[in-house]
Structure 1
Amino acid sequence: MTKRTPPLSSSGKSKLPSRGSGNLLDILRSSVPDLNNGEAKVARIILANTEWVSHASIKAVADRAAVSEPTVLRMCRRIGLEGFKALKHRLAQDLILTQVLNTPHMQDDDPFPSELVKVMLDSSMGALRGAAQATDVKVLDKAAAAVVKSRITYCIGVGGSSSVLCEELENRMFRLGLPVQSILDSYRQRMAAAVAKKGDLFVAISSTGVPAPVVQSIELARSNGAMTLAITQVDSPLAKVSEIVLPVEFFNDHTFFMLPAQTRYAQLFTIDCLMGTIAARMPDAAVNLQSIRNTLRALHGTIRHQPIGD
């Protein structure tokens, strides 16, 4: 019988999951043969009572498996988790994702395209209303002032939407003649923060406010005298280390998992509000926009209602 590869490497660190092995229940099933008797009992209890375990105490799980609490902890660590709390958190996440992915959203006779458009409209409008209600004009004006007076602005973020929005912010700023650079590589973010100085501004965008590279870069830049601004959730780790925070609520209530996250609309709205406030402080920026328009007109002629600079 071929022995299965254990979930942990010889160094004790969790291996990167292979494609399709990210679900915790799948990891547990494949790990049972490599666990000792007590640990295997715990794994089987979790597999048979997943939803219950996601709300149970470690003592309750240990009692049901007829093992000690340390055995439950050892089993968690054998599959690459820090402890029982991490196990419960991961189980809850996987249960929600499984429910979303496996729920039939469309029947043969459903008007799916019409429903999809309605969901898109409702979700985007809800996000925009939420962003507008959370906007503090005094904080917005303070953020705009920080951008205008900065020597250079660094826009940092990681992941899907946040990195794209950093480039969007860079595009919007450079058209006004503002010195700006988006940095999407986590190593370069730390490097820029390491040489930051007074007069620099670091703008971090994160829907969750959790990614360590961004949080650590903002902390480092701030310790070196740079001004820091975050577009993120209130009370998130990123918000707590930033001097100015433009709050964006994290939306996570989509009916259709394939739709873009609502948070993206709120982030774009906040960026638009920030840039509008900045532009009002920079009347001379119209010269830059006129120059951009003239260049594009020379490239492809006059186009009615052409966006300026796009």
Structure 2
Amino acid sequence: MGKRLIKQLEDLTEGKNYSYAGIADYLLKIESVEKIENLKIKYLQHTCHVSSTTIIRFCKALGLSGFSELKYKLAQNIKENEKNIIAGNHGLAETANEYLKNITMSFVETRDLLTDKKLELVVNFIKNAQLVNVYAVGSTYLVARDLELKLDRIAKYCKSYNDKNLQYFAAKNSNSDTLAIGITYSGETESIIESLKISKEQKSKTILFTNKKNDYFEEIFDVVIYVSSTDMRNRLITTTSRLTLLYIVDLIYYSYININNKEINDILKHNSYM
């Protein structure tokens, strides 16, 4: 039932019923048993902008009795997949190949999502900014630090923040010469979204890196860069999402260097240890 349910949800994300697609997409991205078990129908209503009646009909469309059975089936599916991974049901070679396949697929899908127009906009925003603020939390902060170090190396002043209070202060003190970049894979980290909103109010350019497609983000931020990852889809305990974000950072960095080649080469020579 577990695999069939996941397949049903994946099919719904590509269907014509946008309410069902939104619910299915949200559920597929939950990889924690605890989060599934604690999920309330009111929270799902608010997050997916649907009614409780729509959620019940959604469950019925999956052949389930209701919301409780849906949560139970999803939780069981996550537990089973985690058990399979821990038990080592796959050979080392098979596991390594599957992991490599997931990473490669995520990179290709992410590159397909990033249009040349968006990439050019981001490069121009970085070039014109006097200060780049990067907001992230948790393990995603490693990506923010990587971007900070890369930009510092080419003489672009950049600061990364993982504390929500410091994020708020940095956003409030930003201006039209500031570029604000928020990194939240789930699209649900409140401090990141709020910091970008505040930065926008201060006339800063804003960029969001996320996996969550949301028309609202497209409306309020200057650029939204979508990243893909097979983590949620296959329920694997991997770091694919972070690697995909690092890939985007590298892509932006090298695009910036290529477009501003002569200027950057002079800076890199000046900063070289050799």
**TM-score, length of structure 1 as denominator length:** 0.62
Cα deviation, residue 23, structure 1: 7.2
Higher RCO (CA-CA < 8 Å; seq separation 6+): 2
1:182 corresponds to which residue? 160
User: Do 1:250 and 1:263's aligned partners in 2 also have CA atoms closer than 8 Å?
Assistant: yes
Show structure 1 runs of 5+ residues with no match. Answer: 1-20, 28-51, 62-84, 298-310
CA separation of 1:222/1:116 partners in 2, compared to 1, >3 Å: closer, same or farther? same
Q: Where does residue 263 of structure 1 map in the other structure?
A: 241
1:103, distance to aligned residue in structure 2 (A): 2.9
Does residue 101 in structure 1 map to residue 117 in structure 2? no
Show the counterpart of 2:197: 219
What SS does the corresponding residue of 1:284 show, helix, strand or coil?
helix
CA-to-aligned-CA distance 1:2-23 (integer Å, 9 cap, x gap): xxxxxxxxxxxxxxxxxxx947
The count of corresponding residues between Structure 1 and Structure 2 is 221
Unaligned runs of 5+ in 2: 1-32, 39-55
Higher percent of residues as helix: 2
Could you tell me whether the CA contact under 8 Å between 2:185 and 2:212 is conserved in 1?
no
Give the conservation status (yes or no) of the 8 Å contact 1:230–1:239: no
Separation in structure 1 between the aligned mates of residue 72 and residue 218 of structure 2, nearest angstrom:
27
Please, which of 193, 198, 207 is the counterpart of residue 229 of structure 1? 207
Percent of paired sites with the same residue: 12
Closer/same/farther in 2, CA of residues 256 and 218 from structure 1, 3 Å limit: closer
SS of equivalent to 2:252: helix
TM-score w.r.t. structure 2 length? Answer: 0.69
CA separation of 1:245/1:254 partners in 2, compared to 1, >3 Å: closer, same or farther?
closer
Describe the shift of the 1:23–1:135 C-alpha distance in structure 2 as closer, same or farther (beyond 3 A): closer
Offset at residue 200 of structure 1 (A): 0.6
Give the conservation status (yes or no) of the 8 Å contact 2:110–2:228.
Answer: yes
SS at match of 1:264: helix
Q: Is the Cα–Cα contact under 8 Å of residues 232 and 238 in structure 1 kept in the other structure?
A: no
Assess if the C-alpha contact under 8 Å between 1:153 and 1:181 holds in 2.
yes
> Whose radius of gyration is greater, 1 or 2?
1
SS in 2 for 1:272: helix
**Structure 1 pair 250/122, CA: closer, same or farther in 2 (3 Å)?**
closer
- SS for the counterpart of 2:155 is coil
Partner of 1:55 in structure 2? 59
* Cα shift at 1:249: 2.5
Report the counterpart of residue 300 of structure 1 in structure 2. Answer: none
